[in-house]
Structure 1
Amino acid sequence: MEFIIPVKGAVKFTITLDPTVWIFDDRKIDLDEFFSGEYEYKDELEEYTKVTSAHWSREIIEGATVPPTLQTEKKYERTKALTSTFGVELQPFIQNAEPLEEASSLVIETIEGEHSFPLNGLDTLLLKFSHKGKPLREDGPVHVIKKDGSNINNPIKFVTAFRVE
């Protein structure tokens, strides 16, 4: 099975996606938390700005200090990565390929057939890339899941490509 997924068709840039590296991506979503209702959406830019501003203010007032290393926090993150189910949003990848103006839909090509979605509805789709810490080797490399959870038990599997039309 090929783990590289091309984004092709009516796009300015043909790109390839490699789900095996998403475990290191800060945009990954813990799907167990997401579908249990415990997930809290965070704007990455806003979070970064708040943390940086607070750090800058503290350094001006108190002077520079070296933060202690938190070994327990690192261990927790490592354990979580090896035992949790993760996904990422599909929309940013399609936006990076820059669909042409005449494009109106995304076709998900699979071994079993094709599934079509409107481009303006991509914010409702997630790409599941790991299950309980393991990559989706048998029926992957990704599963396409709707954010409302309506196809959580029957996701789109065996994805081979994303084609913008």
Structure 2
Amino acid sequence: MNYQYRIWDSYLGRILYVLELNYIPEGFDKYNNLRLRVDYIRALDTEKHEIHVYQGAELDEIVLERCTQKQDKNGRLFYDGDIIKTEKGNYQEVVDYQAEIGGKGEKLVSQFSAFPFGYNDMELKDIVTYKLSKTDEIVGEYHTFKLPKGVIENG
């Protein structure tokens, strides 16, 4: 099944897939964009075949991650928080996926902002724009990923 969002539950130590998501409007930012706050999440634990509900303070224990609707070379969907290995062998973390219409609207360009994996003190200047490729491979997700033996952290 294709889920638009997933969550990392730090208490359970695993990923769950969002079945229902409720927002509450919180006003407008300085650019007049509507700000929303997540109020309620119902999520499926595919490992334990259980439904979990998150409200109030429980929402502080989770990280919400969006699906890009794009697939890696093995057909797995990319989500925010995924660690990918590029065709060049670099490890990147998907941190903010954006789909943009390019040209005259006839072509969809998929890109995301990414941190080279292994950096601890990142700044906005270190974020790169990267176009997703069918040759990229999801090798883990941010919360549990460890670099393979012999691979030196980017930096």
Please state which band the TM-score falls in when normalised by the shorter chain: under 0.3
Quick check: which one's helix share is greater?
A: 1
Bigger RCO (CA 8 Å, 6+ sep): 1
TM-score normalised over the length of structure 2: 0.27
Quick check: which one's strand share is greater?
A: 2
TM-score normalised over the length of structure 1: 0.26
Structure of larger gyration radius: 1
